[in-house]
Amino acid sequence: MKECLENVRRKAPLVHNITNYVTVNDVANVILAIGASPIMADDREEVEEITSLCGGLNINIGTLNQRTIEAMHLAGKKANALQHKILLDPVGAGASALRTKTALSLMKEVHFDVIRGNVSEVKALALGSQSTKGVDADAADVVREENLQKMLSFAKKYAQSFGTIIAITGAIDLVTDGEKAYVIRNGCQEMSRITGTGCQLSGLISAFLAANPENALEAVAAATCAMGLAGEIGKGRLLEGEGNATYRNRIIDAISLMTGEELEKGAKYEIR
């Protein structure tokens, strides 16, 4: 964990984001906070050129349109050709045919090193289910202690079949490459009350991947622990009268101030 974070700060990778308009500013700020550099570019005329300059690519389908769909395919194929690390955040997959179709089409044409989403989104891609509640996980899908082993088996099977790392995030986070899995218990419920924590995590993971290309699974787990830990720290620093808007800033503050030692000490995970 410590080494993965310190590599981000030392290498300061440039991360190309084609991401959600709702959360784009927070994604840029959390990437800056961890010590990397973001660039947001989604026009087909420049995405290949921009992604060529970067070490990682973060594709988030949260606010889709036909123009950006084409840009996602172009950037993804270029990043593959350059062997850059790529993440797919299939926001709302299962909520609409366009979102599900776009994510599946991207997965067919682009190899993603990581797919990160809530359990309903991942299930929509793996099984064709449609239980997503908007862009949130359906309550019936939430990873709990009582269904943890079943969800782990699902995540590992899906990771193996698609040859990618699967990161299912929620109350309990699961990160697996199909063989080894991290069960992560950092974070708090308050994080679900502000928009963008999932999108921020995808940006954070992309930065960790770009800085730790030979250690991808551990990089994804470290980023996931760091985001959850920042949520815990941010909650603890809230003062009376402060709510969601301040909490969002507290999380970014916690990321910017987090040390490798703090992450190593505060990460709550087990390997299965």
pLDDT reading at 108 higher than 70: yes
Nearest to 187 by CA among 134, 223, 150: 223
Q: Convert the pLDDT of each residue in 201-255 to its tens digit.
A: 999 999 999 999 999 999 999 999 999 999 999 999 999 999 999 999 999 999 9
In whole angstroms, what is the distance from residue 182 CA to residue 161 CA?
A: 18
DSSP state of 69: H
Alpha helices in 82-144 (DSSP H): 97-109, 119-127
Q: What is the pTM of this model?
A: 0.94
Q: What is the pLDDT of residues 53-70, one digit of tens each?
A: 999 999 999 999 999 999
92: left (phi > 0), else alpha (psi -120 to 50), else beta?
A: left
Strands of 98-241, DSSP E: 114-117, 165-168, 173-176, 181-184
